[in-house]
């Protein structure tokens, strides 16, 4: 009997240790690159720790936290009222951790001669009031509207910051499942316009000034670029001090974590003193 009890005790201890060495993240495709880079760095520094990161959209990050299928839900937006209510009913206590800041550059094909738009012009394009580039200073070319999918936090942020809750995107708009997908579609289409996270914009597309302000780290920190947002990692309750979850999220406030975030193309939060 003693052997059985000891064996059971060892199995239980191993199970606890195993659980403590695992971390599961799911959600935003915008926050995903940060989470993956953090995971790679942390696992290099801590052999034996297993961190998995999935990128199925902010909505699924919230669902994962609600259903207990992930330890951290990555969101590029705030929780929706319905999500918060569902969590409250289930006894989940969501805590938002800001890990970085982001802008949503409005991007066009490099050949597009338009250098900038007003926020109102962007809204008019996405709602279908303006359908040709000649009406905003460009060539006589139909505008091809590209948007993120509606489950995306990037879509929700863009809708909130640009369109308003009552405006709807033009019915002919094309929807893609990732920031990279938007960039690829825009770089291949002369008349296209899209939007994506700051870290996904490169020289293959042209980022427009909005209200005369270019999207960059400086304008995000100064809060002068009008389409900016926070990037979150959500947990169920405040992580226990010294836990794997706390250490992982805390990377965003360290010198190394800030360096990683800047290298990816986002704007880091203040370093923890």
Other C-beta atoms lying within 10 Å of the C-beta of residue 83: 22
Nearest to 77 by CA among 118, 29, 119: 29
Residue 182 has pLDDT above 70, yes or no: yes
Per-residue pLDDT band for 270 (boundaries 50, 70, 90) equals: confident
Q: Read off the tokens for 172.
A: 């002919």
Cα distance between residue 122 and residue 129, in whole Å: 10
Nearest to 99 by CA among 219, 198, 234: 234
- C-beta separation of 59 from 151 below 8 A: yes
pTM greater than the 0.85 cutoff: no
Per-residue pLDDT band for 20 (boundaries 50, 70, 90) equals: low
98 backbone dihedrals φ, ψ, rounded to 5°: -75, 120
Per-residue pLDDT band for 85 (boundaries 50, 70, 90) equals: very high
């Amino acid at each position: 009997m003693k052997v059985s009890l000891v064996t059971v005790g060892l199995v239980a201890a191993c199970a606890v240790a195993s659980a403590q060495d695992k971390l599961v993240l799911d959600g935003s495709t915008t926050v995903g690159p940060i989470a993956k880079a953090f995971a790679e760095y942390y696992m290099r520094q801590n052999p034996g720790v297993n961190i998995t990161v999935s990128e199925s959209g902010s909505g699924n990050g919230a669902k994962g936290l609600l259903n207990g299928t992930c330890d951290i839900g990555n969101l590029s937006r705030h929780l929706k009222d319905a999500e918060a209510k569902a969590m409250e009913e289930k006894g989940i206590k969501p805590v938002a951790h800001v890990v970085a800041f982001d802008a949503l550059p409005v991007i066009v094909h490099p050949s597009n001669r338009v250098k900038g738009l007003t926020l109102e012009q962007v809204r008019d394009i996405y709602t279908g009031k303006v359908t040709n580039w000649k009406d905003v200073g460009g060539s006589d070319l139909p505008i091809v509207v590209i948007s993120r999918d509606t489950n995306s936090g990037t879509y929700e942020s863009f809708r909130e910051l640009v369109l308003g809750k009552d405006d709807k995107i033009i019915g002919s708009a094309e929807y893609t499942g990732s920031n990279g997908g938007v960039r690829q579609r825009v770089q291949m289409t002369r008349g296209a316009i899209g939007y994506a996270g700051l870290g996904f914009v490169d020289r293959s597309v042209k980022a427009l000034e909005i209200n005369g302000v270019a999207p960059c780290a400086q304008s995000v920190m100064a809060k002068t670029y009008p389409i900016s947002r926070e990037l979150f990692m959500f947990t169920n309750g405040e992580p226990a001090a010294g836990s794997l979850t706390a250490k992982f999220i805390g990377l965003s406030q360290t010198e190394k974590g800030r360096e990683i975030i800047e290298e990816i193309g986002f704007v880091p939060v203040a370093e923890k003193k």
